[in-house]
Amino acid sequence: MIHGAPTSSKYSEESSSSSASLALAKGETDPNTTNLYLGNLNPKISEQQLMEIFGKFGPLASIKIMWPRSDEEKARGRNCGFVAYMNRRDGERALKALGGWFH
């Protein structure tokens, strides 16, 4: 679960005390970007679950969880990822709707 996000109860067992973050992708200079950055993700969440959460706001171009590769990344116990929409309007709507659930 993305902590606090309004999801179905099947994700509740994956909650944690840490919060996830949601923002426009960092370093993105394109004012028309459709990418959202997801930080501090619970390592148990899947790309399929993210698709169910974010797909409610419009067609998705891609979803990618950045799985840890180094021991240092694994030790953090959290992941990050990206959700890309087909159009910016849907990404903005998701950011507005879910932004309050992500800290």
Number of domains in the chain: 1
**Cβ-Cβ contacts under 8 Å for 7 (sequence gap 6 or more):** 1, 49, 52, 53
Residue 24 lies in a domain: yes
CATH of the domain at 71: 3.30.70.330
Range of the domain at 94: 20-101
**Structural tokens at position 65:** 């969880």
Residue 80 lies in a domain: yes
Residue 9 lies in a domain: no
Report the C-alpha gap between 42 and 59 in whole angstroms.
24
Report the C-alpha gap between 77 and 72 in whole angstroms.
9
Question: Environment class of residue 29 by beta-carbon count within 10 Å: exposed (0-12), middle (13-18) or buried (19+)?
Answer: exposed
Task: Please say whether the beta carbons of 83 and 50 come within 8 A.
Answer: yes
pLDDT of residue 15: 33
**How many other C-beta atoms lie within 10 A of the C-beta of residue 12?**
9
Residue 40 lies in a domain: yes
Report the C-alpha gap between 59 and 90 in whole angstroms.
8
Residue 32 lies in a domain: yes
Question: pLDDT tens-digit profile of 8-61?
Answer: 333 333 333 334 455 555 555 677 788 888 888 888 999 999 999 999 999 999
Question: pLDDT tens-digit profile of 65-103?
Answer: 999 888 988 888 889 899 999 998 998 899 888 875 654
pLDDT of residue 55: 97
